Amino acid sequence: MLVVMRHDATAREIDAVVATIREMGYDARPIPGKQRTAIGLIGNDGKVNADRIEALGGVLEIIHVSQPYKQVSREWKEEATVVVLDNGTRIGAGDVAVMAGPCSVESEAQIIGSAHRLREAGATILRGGAFKPRTSPYSFQGMGEDGLKLLARAREETGMAIVTEAIDSESLDLVAQYADIVQIGARNMQNFSLLRRAGRAGKPVLLKRGMAATIKDLLLSAEYLLAEGNGNVILCERGVRGFDTHTRNLLDLTAIPVVKSLSHLPIIADPSHGTGIRAKVIPMARAAVAAGADGLMIEVHPDPERALSDGAQSLYPGQFEELMEQIAVIANAIGRQLVPPLVPVAAGSA
Ligand code: PEP
Ligand code: MN
């Protein structure tokens, strides 16, 4: 439930509403807006009797949020959420943000070399897993903290922001120390204790859609992050299990306009995991931008044949450069543009 205050409501009237909500046994979250303050009531599982609140001074109207995901919904917050990173990249403000890099951090030469080339092509966020959730326990599991240190070096050298995955609570604490964005992967989308912890980690979170999750499931998982006080959440469509064997997953691009209408949170697309096949990544990346995605996550590897994970879906760097040129044109066609490229970090300034 949302209590919308009159534009001339006094601080004392706002405090009285907050106190009444707390007395009723719920939690109150004041949301200051440009025109007026609203006060969100959370902690209810069902409709709240608003009679007592309606009668208080300064109250303009009561809005009952009809969705089970409250703080994530457009009813709760009409204005789009913009996630702002330290390097100036804004996600959700209209420009298309590009996160690119290898599936896994594998070596210093691989990640630092990739970062320079990707930044030159216009990506402002570097991806790379240091903790890998692998289907087989015998597959490469990631470099761990050494990988995070290499990502931090790549950031120093290029100015790119870092997005990297946390797979459990131990890795979350480490990842949150190094990353600009903490990624929660598809396999952990409904790991609710991990979500709560990520909500308290103090860093923006990239939440990927689970492979068998509905859009409602995704939004309810995001609600866990907002319920812990973290509003800097970016959603990611990365494909769901389909019945067709021609692709690894079924990239559900309808999720983009659907999420946009239901939620104020930004949503990006990951056509690399969404298709699993290099030749299908570029067409689906173009389509995602055309569908209104706030950004893309693209796997790129300097030598995909030798990649330790997801080589078959990783673009060659030259293909990524081509893709960046193409999506700039598509973004323009719908009145948008790519997030402006980073200016090179001066040699020796790191
Ligand atoms: C990844 O980004 O490398 C990854 C493992 O993604 P997902 O969780 O979408 O499978
Ligand atoms: Mn991958």
Mutation choice for ligand 1 from 141, 165, 247, CB with most ligand atoms inside 8 A: 165
Q: Tell me what the mean pLDDT of segment 6-22 comes to.
A: 96
Q: What is the pLDDT of residues 162-188, one digit of tens each?
A: 999 999 999 999 999 999 999 999 999
How confident is the model over 295-320, as pLDDT tens digits? 999 999 999 999 999 999 999 999 99
What is the 344 CA–ligand 1 centroid distance (Å)? 29
Ligand closest in space to the Cα of 310? 2
Residue 334 has pLDDT above 90, yes or no: yes
**Ligand 1 near 239 CB (within 6 A):** no
Q: Please name the residue whose Cα sits nearest to atom 6 of ligand 1.
A: 185
Q: In this structure, how many other beta carbons lie within 10 angstroms of the beta carbon of residue 47? A: 10
pLDDT for 347: 61
Query: How far from 233 is each of 55, 130, 150, 176, 264, CA to CA, in Å?
Result: 35, 21, 25, 14, 10
Q: Is the pLDDT of residue 349 over 60?
A: no
Q: What confidence tier does 43 reach under pLDDT thresholds 50, 70, 90?
A: confident
Alpha-carbon gap, residue 273 to 165, rounded angstroms: 14
| pLDDT (average), residues 139-163 | 98
pLDDT tens-digit series, residues 279-293: 999 999 999 999 999
238 in ligand 1 pocket by Cβ < 6 Å? yes
Q: For 188-215, what is each residue's pLDDT tens digit?
A: 999 999 999 999 999 999 999 999 999 9
Please check the confidence at residue 128 and state whether its pLDDT lies above 90: yes
Nearest-angstrom CA–CA distance, 87 and 124? 8
- Residue 142 in contact with ligand 1 by CB distance below 6 A: no
User: From the CB of 301, is ligand 1 less than 6 Å away?
Assistant: no
Encode pLDDT of 231-256 as tens digits. 999 999 999 999 999 999 999 999 99
User: What is the b/e burial string over 166-199, where b = at least 16 CB atoms within 10 angstroms of the residue's CB?
Assistant: bbeeebbebbbebbbbbbbbbebbbbeebbbbbb
- Alpha carbon distance 200, 229 (integer Å): 7
Taking the centre of ligand 2 as the mean of its atom positions, its distance from the CA of residue 314, in whole angstroms, is 8
CA 314-319-321 angle, to 5 degrees, is 120
CA of residue 275 to ligand 1 center, whole Å: 12
* pLDDT one-digit tens code per residue, 51-94: 999 999 999 999 998 889 999 999 999 999 999 999 999 999 99
Percentage of residues in the chain with pLDDT exceeding 70?
99
Ligand 1 within 6 A of 186 CB?
yes
User: Residue 109 C-alpha to ligand 1 middle, in angstroms?
Assistant: 22
Which ligand has an atom closest to residue 238 CA? Answer: 1
**Does any ligand 1 atom lie closer than 6 A to the CB of residue 208?**
yes
The pLDDT assigned to 138 comes to 95
Q: Would you say residue 350 has pLDDT above 60? A: no
Residues 3-11 have a mean pLDDT of 96
Per-residue confidence band for 40, with pLDDT thresholds at 50, 70 and 90:
very high
Distance 233 CA to ligand 2 centre (A): 20
> What is the CA 335 to chain-centroid distance, rounded?
22
For ligand 1, the distance from its centroid to the CA atom of residue 297, given in whole angstroms, is: 10
Mean pLDDT of 129-155: 97
Q: What is the pLDDT of residue 348?
A: 55
pLDDT band at 130 (very low <50, low <70, confident <90, very high): very high
CA of 101 to the centre of ligand 2 (A): 10
Tell me, using a 6 A CB cutoff, whether residue 129 lines ligand 1.
yes
